[in-house]
């Protein structure tokens, strides 16, 4: 059933925010959560459950930005993005998509959406949303300002000079690749204290060696063909030799009656950092900093493909902590988190740099041993892991002791695909736990090899 609320009760934090945000989402519970999250920051958030209601609100009210759920009923999120931008090409649109639909989000960006955000089941995306929204709105404001600036440049060079002195974007004018003009922002971004340090120098001298060839080709294209070059990401080298990630665009220009190229660039270091943060949130456990389930399965799939191609064996170790629940319930989640962090550190120290240690949930970890020559190689590592996790841990409240039960599956002995190997290792881990814990067990698949090495036998370590 369609729903709509006029506004959140919080007072907007600034004039622009008073225009409001529209969120198109048919899940009322999720919509309310997002509305409350943004409302705390002063945004007014209106809600709509379908495309028809959303378009009507946009026409009647006007919004600072629109958030669109990919799985919107009826026409769908992609159709809605296209319809909104047809209505207002400058309207900032953010696509919200579930995990696995990132490709569709990229298609939405091609349609003109400003950005996208992946909704994770743990709702961490609600914490990221204000940063992404703020970045999108800032980019929109800068884009509108840039558009107005470029129109002013075409109208009058004198008016251009007044504007470029105030813009936060770096602007340089080059004749035959030599810098003839640089605004204050360009001097600051290039690390110059005065214009003499920049004027007369070749622009290519400020470009990172890895980008020189492409940048030179873009300059030649502008000079010869007279076409505008779209925004590209480049790396500059400042006068103090620090590197600067920048977004760069160029247009043909006339400077003192000579053909020239006007280059606009801006610092995008914060955007790059935000991108890296989003990637880390997507692929790494935020408590232990170990690879999470998604990254583990990616690496396992790569390992499977290489093992099949080059005909080598590898092992998968599934670990579950013994006694962790008692520590967590008795001492509290903070000390439980501290314990998990220490466990992760010990596991990483106990394996080779070529192996992968991942946390796949709760107190469960997996170790992907890149190559094993014989079964006993995995037994040695498993024994080492049980032993290292059996040593006391130092917590705020004092020492505590836990253990670990480890299940081992081998490729290709116990399976030749990810699900089969993980299931086999999981079952073996439960066998070790049922035997008393602080032990390891190999998978008991029908093709399992006989256990013949007494010194590396399965069981408790001690």
| Cα–Cα distance measured from residue 27 to residue 67, given in angstroms and rounded to the nearest whole number | 14
How far, in Å, CA of 426 to CA of 436, rounded? 16
Q: What is the DSSP string of 232-285?
A: EEEEEE-TTS-EEEEEEEEEEEEETTEEEEEEEEEE-HHHHHHHHHHHHHHHB-
Q: Of 283, 357, 372, 353, which is closest to residue 318 (Cα–Cα)?
A: 357
Using alpha carbons only, what angle is made at residue 400 by residues 397 and 406, rounded to the nearest 5 degrees? 145
Q: What is the mean pLDDT of residues 324-343?
A: 91
- Tokens 């400058």 belong to residue: 90
* Close Cβ partners of 282 (under 8 Å, ≥ 6 residues apart): 118, 294
Do residues 178 and 218 share a domain? yes
Q: SS3 of 82, please?
A: helix
Tell me the DSSP string of 399-454: EE--EEEEEEEEETTT-SSHHHHHHHHHHHHHHHHHTTSSEEEE---TTPPP---G
Per DSSP, the residues of 333-370 read HHHHHHHHHHHHHHHHHHS-TTSEEEEEETTEEEEEES
CA distance 44 to 20: 5
Average pLDDT over residues 384-409: 93
CA distance 64 to 80: 16
Please give the average per-residue pLDDT across 92-116, as a whole number: 81
Q: Last residue of a domain, which of 103, 136, 169?
A: 136
Give 52-88 pLDDT, tens digit per residue.
888 988 888 888 899 988 888 878 888 988 888 888 8
Nearest residue to 271 (alpha-carbon basis) of 455, 77, 135: 135
Whether 251 and 290 map to the same domain: the answer is no
Which CATH number do you get for residue 57?
3.40.50.2300
Q: Is the pTM of this model over 0.85?
A: no
User: Same domain, yes or no, for 314 and 435?
Assistant: yes
In this predicted structure, what is the pLDDT of residue 160? 64
Looking at residue 459, its pLDDT comes to 43
Mean pLDDT rounded to a whole number for the chain: 84
Residue 372 resides in a domain: yes
At 188, the pLDDT band (50, 70, 90 cuts) reads very high
Return the pLDDT at 78: 87
101 & 163 share domain: no
Between CA 356 and CA 303 the distance in angstroms is 11
Would you say residue 354 lies in a domain?
yes
pLDDT at 374 over 60: yes
Domain boundary among 136, 170, 194: 136
Q: Using the 3D structure, point to which of 248, 270, 292 is the last residue of a domain.
A: 270
Task: Tell me the pLDDT band of 159, cut-offs 50, 70 and 90.
Answer: low
pLDDT over 90 (residue 49): no
Q: Record the tokens describing residue 172, joined without a space.
A: 């340089």
φ, ψ (nearest 5 deg) of residue 72 = -60, 135
Residues 92 and 171 placed together within one structural domain of the fold: no
pLDDT of residue 16: 45
Q: Residue 337 maps to which CATH number?
A: 3.30.70.270
The answer to whether residues 204 and 345 belong to one domain is: no
Nearest to 272 by CA among 235, 307, 310: 235
Radius of gyration of the chain (CA): 29
Asked if 213 and 355 sit in the same domain, the reply is no
The band of 203, judged by pLDDT with boundaries at 50, 70 and 90, is: very high
Peptide bond into 84 cis (omega under 30): no
Residue 455 has pLDDT above 80, yes or no: no
Q: What stretch of H or E contains 310?
A: helix 293-310
Check whether 156 has a pLDDT greater than 90.
no
Predicted confidence (pLDDT) per residue in 100-110, tens digit:
677 777 888 88
Preceding amide of 412 cis, omega within 30: yes
Clarify whether residues 308 and 439 are in a common domain.
yes
In a domain, 276, yes or no: no
H helices present in 112-236, as ranges? 125-155, 157-164, 184-189, 212-225
Look at residue 124 in the predicted model and tell me its pLDDT: 84
- Tell me whether residue 148 is in a domain: no
Question: Which pLDDT does position 146 carry in this prediction?
Answer: 78
Phi, psi dihedrals of residue 108, rounded to the nearest 5°: -65, -35
**Domain containing residue 44:** 16-136
The reply to whether 445 falls in a domain is yes
Same domain flag for 197 and 74: no
Q: Can you give the pLDDT at residue 154?
A: 67
Residues in the chain: 462
- Rounded to an integer, what distance in angstroms lies between the CA atom of residue 292 and that of residue 282? 8
**Does residue 8 form part of some domain?**
no
Indicate if 378 and 449 belong to the same structural domain.
yes
Together in a domain, 110 and 171: no
C-alpha–C-alpha distance, residues 357 and 353, integer Å: 10
Q: Residue 270: is its pLDDT beyond 90? A: no
In a domain, 9, yes or no: no
Mean pLDDT, rounded, for 12-37: 74
Nearest to 179 by CA among 76, 262, 275, 84: 262
Examine residue 240 and state whether it is found in any structural domain, yes or no. yes
Segment 121-129 shows an average pLDDT of 84
The CATH number of residue 247's host domain is 3.30.450.20
Instruction: Report pLDDT for 13.
Output: 35
Report whether pLDDT(258) > 90. Answer: no
Are residues 304 and 452 both part of a single domain? yes
Count of the separate structural domains present in the chain? 3
Q: Which helix (H) or strand (E) holds 374?
A: none
User: How would you classify the pairing of strands 45-48 and 21-24?
Assistant: parallel
pLDDT of the residue at 89: 85
% residues pLDDT > 70 (the chain): 89
**Sheet order of strands, 115-119 included:** 45-48, 21-24, 65-69, 93-98, 115-119
Q: Give the model's pLDDT for residue 335.
A: 92
Mean pLDDT of 9-27: 60
């Amino acid at each position: 059933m369609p729903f709509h609320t006029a506004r959140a009760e919080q007072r907007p934090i600034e004039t622009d925010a008073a225009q409001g945000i529209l969120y198109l989402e048919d899940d009322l519970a999720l919509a309310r959560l997002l509305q409350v999250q943004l409302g705390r920051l002063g945004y007014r958030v209106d809600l709509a459950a379908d495309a028809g209601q959303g378009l009507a609100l946009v026409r009647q009210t006007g919004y600072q930005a629109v958030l669109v759920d990919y799985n919107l009923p009826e026409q769908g999120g992609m159709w809605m993005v296209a319809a909104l931008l047809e209505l207002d090409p400058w309207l900032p649109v953010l696509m919200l998509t579930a995990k696995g639909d990132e490709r569709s989000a990229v298609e939405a960006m091609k349609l003109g959406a400003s950005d996208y955000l992946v909704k994770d089941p743990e709702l961490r995306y609600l914490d990221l949303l204000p940063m992404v929204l703020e970045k999108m709105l800032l980019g929109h404001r800068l884009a509108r300002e840039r558009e107005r600036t470029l129109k002013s440049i075409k109208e009058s060079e004198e008016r251009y000079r007044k504007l470029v002195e105030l813009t936060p974007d770096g602007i340089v004018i080059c004749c035959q690749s030599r810098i003839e003009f640089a605004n204050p922002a360009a001097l600051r971004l290039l690390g110059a204290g005065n214009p003499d340090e920049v004027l007369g120098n070749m622009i290519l001298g400020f470009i990172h060696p890895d980008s020189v060839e492409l940048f030179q080709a873009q300059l030649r294209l502008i000079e010869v063909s007279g076409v505008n070059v779209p925004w590209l990401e480049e790396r500059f080298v400042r006068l103090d030799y620090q590197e600067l990630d920048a977004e760069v665009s160029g247009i043909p220009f006339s400077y003192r009656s000579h053909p020239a190229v006007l280059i606009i660039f801006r610092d995008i270091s914060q955007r790059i950092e935000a991108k890296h943060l989003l990637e880390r949130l997507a692929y790494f456990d935020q408590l232990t900093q170990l690879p999470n389930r998604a990254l583990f399965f990616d690496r396992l799939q790569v390992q499977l493909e290489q093992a099949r191609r080059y005909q080598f064996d590898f092992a998968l170790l599934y670990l579950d902590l013994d006694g962790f629940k008692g520590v967590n319930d008795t001492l509290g989640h903070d000390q439980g988190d501290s314990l998990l962090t220490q466990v992760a550190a010990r596991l990483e120290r106990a394996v080779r740099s070529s192996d992968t240690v991942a946390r796949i949930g709760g107190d469960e970890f997996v170790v992907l041993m890149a190559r094993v020559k014989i079964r006993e190689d995995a037994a040695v590592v498993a024994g080492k892991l049980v032993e290292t996790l059996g040593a006391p841990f130092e917590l705020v409240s004092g020492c505590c002791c836990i253990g670990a039960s480890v299940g081992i599956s081998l490729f290709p002995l116990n399976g030749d695909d990810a699900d089969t190997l993980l299931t086999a290792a999981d079952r073996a881990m439960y066998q070790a736990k049922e035997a008393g814990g602080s032990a390891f067990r190999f998978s008991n698949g029908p093709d399992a090899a006989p256990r013949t090495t007494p010194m590396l036998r399965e069981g408790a370590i001690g």
